[in-house]
């Protein structure tokens, strides 16, 4: 694994929520993190067929544009009864038809409408998982990948106003509160000093693998 020196990264994301979470996770390691949004860089077209492909598209574009090591995150909600949808199209399900941005309340309703259309009303018919793939990429195109998943159940109506995206309808296995009802600290439940602690959220689990491999 290549070293990351100096301790600077560019986050290849325009998602403000992801930037907050990544900065919180990286804080113990003393990294200076900026984002492509803060630098005014455009979003590349994500036309990959997997989380890994889309993560690489974002990371390599940021690394080449800034001549810095870039970290990207491609993540989504995969619902078993919907054959894995929305999956890599998770953000697309939230796009307003008039091009005015993303509405995740609408997106959560889309998921619920699709589940109801499939007759998925009991908890065992409403299983799914969040997936996050982190891609660490150097300006020469070399990349490393770290994947994390958080499994649970889709609930309705949404609960909680914390987190972002589909968090209010996702009840992680073994818990009685949705991601939307948890603080960011509880949602991550990970620290570099905890024994056998890979975190609760999909992003924290991917980050734990990244930290072990790259941050030491």
Tens of pLDDT, residue by residue over 64-110, are 999 999 999 999 999 999 999 999 999 999 999 888 889 999 999 99
Q: Which two tokens stand for residue 119?
A: 């007759």
Percent of the chain with pLDDT over 90: 72
Instruction: Give the SS3 label for residue 111.
Output: helix
| Residue-level pLDDT at 199 | 82
| Residue-level pLDDT at 196 | 44
- In the residue annotation, 98 being an active-site residue is answered as no
Q: What is the pTM of this model?
A: 0.90
> How many C-beta neighbours within 10 Å does residue 87 have?
18
Q: Which residues of the chain have pLDDT under 70?
A: 190-198, 216
| Residue-level pLDDT at 80 | 98
Of 47, 67, 74, 140, which is the active-site residue? 74
Backbone phi and psi for residue 108, each to the nearest 5 degrees, phi listed first = -65, -35
Domain 8-210: which CATH number of 3.30.413.10, 3.30.830.10, 3.90.950.10, 2.40.128.50: 3.90.950.10
Q: Which two tokens stand for residue 108?
A: 């959560």
Q: Is the dihedral of CA 193, 196, 197, 201 positive or negative?
A: positive
Instruction: Give the SS3 label for residue 55.
Output: helix
């Amino acid at each position: 694994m290549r070293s990351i020196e100096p301790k600077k990264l560019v986050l290849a994301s325009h998602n403000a929520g992801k930037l907050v979470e990544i900065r919180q996770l990286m804080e113990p390691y003393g990294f200076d993190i900026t984002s492509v949004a803060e630098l005014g860089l455009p979003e590349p077209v994500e036309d990959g067929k997997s989380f890994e492909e889309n993560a690489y598209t974002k990371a390599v574009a940021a690394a080449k544009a800034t001549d810095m090591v870039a970290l990207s995150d491609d993540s989504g909600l995969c619902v078993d009864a919907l054959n894995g949808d929305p999956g890599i199209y998770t953000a697309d399900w939230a796009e307003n038809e008039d091009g005015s941005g993303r509405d995740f309340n609408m997106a959560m309703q889309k998921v619920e409408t699709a589940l109801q259309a499939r007759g998925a009303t009991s908890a065992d018919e409403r299983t799914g998982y969040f997936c996050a793939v982190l891609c660490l990429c150097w300006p020469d195109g070399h990349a490393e990948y770290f994947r994390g998943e958080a499994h649970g159940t889709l609930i309705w109506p949404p609960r909680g106003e914390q987190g972002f995206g589909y968090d209010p309808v996702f009840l992680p296995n073994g818990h009685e509160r949705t991601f939307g009802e948890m603080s960011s600290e509880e949602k991550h439940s990970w620290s570099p000093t905890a024994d056998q602690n890979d975190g609760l959220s999909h992003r924290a689990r991917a980050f734990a693998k990244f930290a072990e491999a790259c941050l030491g």
